[in-house]
Structure 1
Amino acid sequence: MSGPHSLERVVIVGAGFAGFHAARTLARLARGAVEIVLVNPNDYFLYFPLLPEVTAGILEPRRVTVPLATGCPGVRFVLGTVYGVDRVCRRVAYLDARGDHQSLGYDRLVITVGSVNKLLPIPGVAERAYGFRSMAEALYLRDHLIREVEIANTADDPERRAACRTFVVVGAGYTGTEVAAHGQLLTKDAAERCPGLGDRQVRWLLVDHAPRLLPELDPRLSHAAHKVLAKRGVEIRLRTTVEEASYEGVRLSDGEFVPSRTLIWCVGVRPDPVIEDLGLTTIRGRLVVDAYLNVPGHPEIYACGDAAAVPDLTRPGEITGMTAQHAQRQGKRVAHNIAASYGHGTRKPYKHRNLGFVVDLAGWRAAANIRGVALSGVPAKVLAGGYHLMAIPGNRLRIAADWTLETVLPRQVVRLGLVPPASVRLAATADAPAPAGAVRRTS
């Protein structure tokens, strides 16, 4: 594969599912004929679907990360945060690891900046809630859950004790359901090691305005998940929302005030705010692209994953969902289309077949919908584990070893204290503002 001049540069912004697989696939196709540069704030690809198991202490944090240096051979990695694009000069502006302003030229640009926590205008939520989108948030949440149980164990005031052992998760989609499932078992194990709690068990609430759990799945799987969590004691509040959050607790839309020191926000995601500042056409915060993942009017610019409003050719008039499954496939497709732009192969539109979904309910329970076949319980758990082992681009033996040890050894309930709370408040993770004085774009 060759371009109009030697070693044209393809810059890929973001190393989530879309960016990682775009870089990895393009490097394999290019074989050194173009320079591929991957710009990302972290030096690893995060396999997000297994993050709840990191919070639960089942998987060691490095198990769900794949180093970019080894995961994308043939790709030059730049540690930085992109905050602007000069489309005239074809350069991206970014902050490097030291916080200095830098820029980088490109011949082809792939925007895969992903998404951030969705913040709703509910009083107190931005200041009191914790999101669940990053390794830092997962590690902090693990420490926080254990700490609250330990505080409840020694608290003399009954009201304080009750608040500390009460945990509220908002959002009963994939993430919220898995966080509640794993978190409830973690705090249950922690409580069993605290004799001061006596028979006062931890309390978990899963809140959502939807009429059922996991509304994206087959109703049979929603019912199976509901049954598993309810049997464990999780209080499932459907058709309910949070109206206000404070240090003392949360007020629900049904009028109940729930004393709690823990509000976990899993209501969904929105595209990275930098997208709105690029001066390109957007739909609901996502860059408009055609079926070939090109930005209209800019044949040198591509976008995919959560950052892009990709037409869903299986549902005319709709755009693809913000899921890891779509992002990974779109990343591979955009790599092939870029290769085609250099004369290697033929570009093709992005069209997908839904493989289905799996939801881990912790322990030996899961729910799955694979190509219309609904599974639950142990069979779904085995299928979910097998799927993740095939999908993650590394660490398979280490993950399998951790899972095996989890079945024969007691859970390690210990706090590490690595992440400060201020860095993971929802207010700190829902936006990524540009540095003061930065020029976001040039038309």
Structure 2
Amino acid sequence: MTRSRIVIVGAGFAGYRTARTLSRLTRRRADIDITLLNPTDYFLYLPLLPHVAAGVLEPRRVTVSLSGTLPRVRLALGAADDVDLARREVTYTDPEGGRGVLSYDRLVLAVGSVHKLLPVPGVAEHAHGFRGMPEALYLRDHITRQMELAAAAPDPATCRARCTFVVAGAGYTGVELAAQGELFTDALVHGQPLWQGMRPRWLLLDIADRVLPELDPRLSSTAGRVLRRRGVDVRTGTSVKEATKDGVLLDDGEFIETRTLMWCVGVRPDPLVAALGRPLERGRLKVDRNLNLPDHPEVFACGDAAAVPDVHHPGRYTPMTAQHAWRQGAAAGRNVAASLGLTSRRPYAHRDLGFTVDLGGVQAAANPLGVPLSGPLAGAVTRGYHLAAMPGNRVRVAADWLLDAVLPRQAVQLGLVRSWSVPLDTASPEVARVPGPRSDADPNRQETRTAKEDPHDKQQ
């Protein structure tokens, strides 16, 4: 019996939703094989990653098992290296360095995005991104370590540098990271007083004239007001000119002494799509309204890797957000099934339903269905939205939130992730490069990390 082979590359918002949709639509077809290629065995709910970095949620709370939630889908662990459209093959490298090949009759490219690196001296060496679980775990340890070292510093200048944290990029991820991080360090300082009553210092930088420049001005104003009220130094119209192990030089000439630079200036499509040699739109693979690659009806693309026509704004493409990626995944799954005669095709069309920005504690900014909200009400809406959107672990996440509200956070370093294993230029957010041991023991070496997108732009 001839079997149809479907290969899905990537298990982010788009890839996971594609696999889940196809698992449901093909449940009565024994002649269809579905393979999901991904570097890890879990789907990462990225919008809650700042909660992990700040010690609010335990790491496994924001991950969902692929094999446990995708019946009839075979998981192939590995990172895609190349796609041969003529031979209909995907080559990949598994976690142990082995090479593999997957042949397909239908292919869905949902490889997502990687850090956007700018030509700023020192950033690649002294900053870290915020694209996956390893980086969140590293940052959680790093912030804790810097606060402990600041409390034991021999002089005020060293103390001040260690308890100063710089976030470059005031998009979705940068804002949430600064908000959650500021609350985290404030909690840590209660148990470990700093020199002469010194307080942790957080700086949020962006070249734009306001935080969250891609969102509604009212959300931006609310978020900026909450951050400033807490003491976050929000500087708009400001960028990083150079990064060193001792601090950050700003474009206005000021040098900020710090051991922590978090790079949240944005993302770019995974380079794999450019290697296909097909038409691109700002690095994204051009597809039609059915998410098909022109001249290759057997190939589909969705999520950050795909430039999908925006039917509500002719001539434009849907933005790189989790909201679109999640829904494009459903459309891709349905259209792949339609190409096998199981259902009917449906062009992708979706309007943004609004955004929510968690500002830590009970604070948030949200505009569900265009209705602007702030304060505790927005906080309740934001957390309710995340619980509804998560494909698993809802009870565990809610329990962690409840415990965080009544119990102090555990400020300990686990030492599971070293800085050299989460470099800013890592192509795949979940595959750690190991270029050779570099000691994390030197407290004077700048260890940092940063944040995504912005997709968290990818906020659903």
* TM norm. shorter chain > 0.5: yes
Alignment of 1:26-425 (within 5 A): 26-33=22-29, 34-425=32-423
Mapped partners of 1:116, 1:214: distance in 2: 20
Stretch deviating more after TM superposition (385-394 or 219-228): 219-228
CA separation in 2, counterparts of 1:425 and 1:261?
Answer: 16
Q: Are 1:181 and 1:229, in contact at CA under 8 Å, matched by a contact in 2? A: yes
Mapped partners of 2:11, 2:316: distance in 1: 26
CA contact (8 A) 1:39 1:81 kept: yes
Gaps of 5+ in 1: 435-443
Q: Distance in 2 between matches of 1:112 and 1:373?
A: 32
**Deviations along 1:306-329, whole A, 9 cap, x unmatched?**
010111111111111111110000
Q: In the TM superposition, what is the alpha-carbon distance from 1:136 to its structure 2 partner?
A: 0.4
Moved more, 283-292 or 195-204: 195-204
Contact 1:14 1:38 in 2 (8 A): yes
Question: Deviation at 1:191?
Answer: 1.5
Local SS of the residue matching 1:386: helix
* Counterparts of 2:432 and 2:7, CA distance in 1: 21
Runs of 4+ off more than 6 Å: 430-434
Number of matched pairs: 430
| Cα-to-partner distance string for 1:92-130 (whole Å, 9 max, x where unaligned) | 101122211110110000000001111101000111111
How big is the shift at 1:7? 2.4
* 2:16 corresponds to 1:25: no
Give deviations 1:127-151, integer Å, cap 9, x for gaps. 1111111000011001111111111
Percent pairwise identity: 57
1:66 touches 1:394 (CA, 8 Å); kept in 2?
A: yes
Q: CA deviation at 1:50?
A: 0.5
Q: Distance in 2 between matches of 1:82 and 1:257?
A: 41
Distance 1:65 1:428 in 2: 20
User: What secondary structure sits across from 1:333 in the alignment?
Assistant: helix
**Mapped contact 1:217–1:369 kept (Cα < 8 A):** no
Q: Shift of the alpha carbon at 1:428?
A: 3.5
Deviation at 1:224, TM superposition (A): 1.2
CA contact (8 A) 2:422 2:432 kept: no
Distance 1:242 1:38 in 2: 39
Q: Residue 311 of structure 1 contacts residue 320 of structure 1 at CA under 8 Å; is this kept in 2?
A: yes
Cα distance, 1:430 vs structure 2: 7.3
Quick one: structure 1 residues 433 and 272, their matched pair in 2 at CA, closer, same or farther if it must change by over 3 Å? Answer: farther
Conserved? CA contact 1:271–1:285, under 8 Å: yes
Aligned partners of 2:115 and 2:425 also within 8 Å: no
Cα distance in 1 for residues equivalent to 2:85 and 2:44: 29
Q: Aligned AA for 1:256?
A: E
Shift of 1:396: 0.6
TM-score computed with the length of structure 1 as normaliser: 0.95
Aligned residues of 1:287 and 1:303 also touching (Cα < 8 A)? yes
Q: Which amino acid aligns with 1:20?
A: Y
What is the rounded CA distance, in whole Å, between the counterparts of 2:253 and 2:171 in structure 1? Answer: 23
Amino acid in structure 2 at the alignment position of 1:400: A
Which region of structure 1 is more displaced relative to structure 2, 214-223 or 13-22?
A: 214-223
Deviation at 1:425, TM superposition (A): 2.5
The answer (yes or no) to whether the contact 1:131–1:429 under 8 Å persists in 2 is no
Per-residue deviation, 1:217 = 2.2
Q: CA deviation at 1:197?
A: 3.2
- Distance in 1 (CA, whole Å) between partners of 2:80 and 2:428 is 16
- Relative distance call for 1:352 and 1:144 in structure 2 (3 A) is same
Contact 1:127 1:427 in 2 (8 A): no
2:12 match:
16
Q: RMSD over aligned Cα, in angstroms?
A: 1.5
List alignment gaps of at least 5 residues for structure 2: 434-460
* 3-state SS of paired residue (2:71): coil
- In 2, distance between residues paired with 1:282 and 1:314? 21
Superposed displacement of residue 155, structure 1: 1.2
Indicate the SS of the match to 2:367: strand
The worse-fitting range, judged by mean Cα deviation, of 214-223 and 421-430 is 421-430
CA distance in 2, matches of 1:47, 1:433: 19
Contact 2:426 2:432 (C-alpha < 8 Å) held by counterparts: no
Q: 1:375 to 1:433 in 2, by over 3 A?
A: closer
One-letter code of the match for 1:35? D
Cα distance in 1 for partners of 2:423, 2:432 equals: 15
- Is the contact between residue 312 and residue 351 of structure 1 (CA under 8 Å) also seen in structure 2? yes
Report how far residue 361 of structure 1 moved: 0.2
CA contact (8 A) 2:159 2:194 kept: no
**1-side partners of 2:341 and 2:157: how far apart?**
69
Partner Cα separation in structure 2 for residue 384 and residue 40 of structure 1: 29
Q: Structure 1 residues 308, 433: CA separation in 2 closer, same or farther (over 3 Å shift)?
A: farther
**1:288–1:429 distance in 2 versus 1, CA, 3 Å:** closer
1:154-178 Cα deviation digits (max 9, x unpaired): 1113322211111000111110000
* TM-aligned CA distance change 1:192 to 1:429, over 3 Å: farther
The one-letter amino acid paired with 1:165 is: C
SS in 2 for 1:152: helix
Q: Secondary structure at the match of 1:330?
A: helix
**How far does residue 429 in structure 1 lie from its aligned partner after superposition?**
5.1
CA distance in 2, matches of 1:215, 1:50: 21
Aligned-partner residue type, residue 130 of structure 2: F
Letter in 1 for 2:409: R
Distance in 1 (alpha carbons) for counterparts of 2:415 and 2:341 = 52
Deviations 1:189-212 (A, max 9, x none): 111211343410011000001111
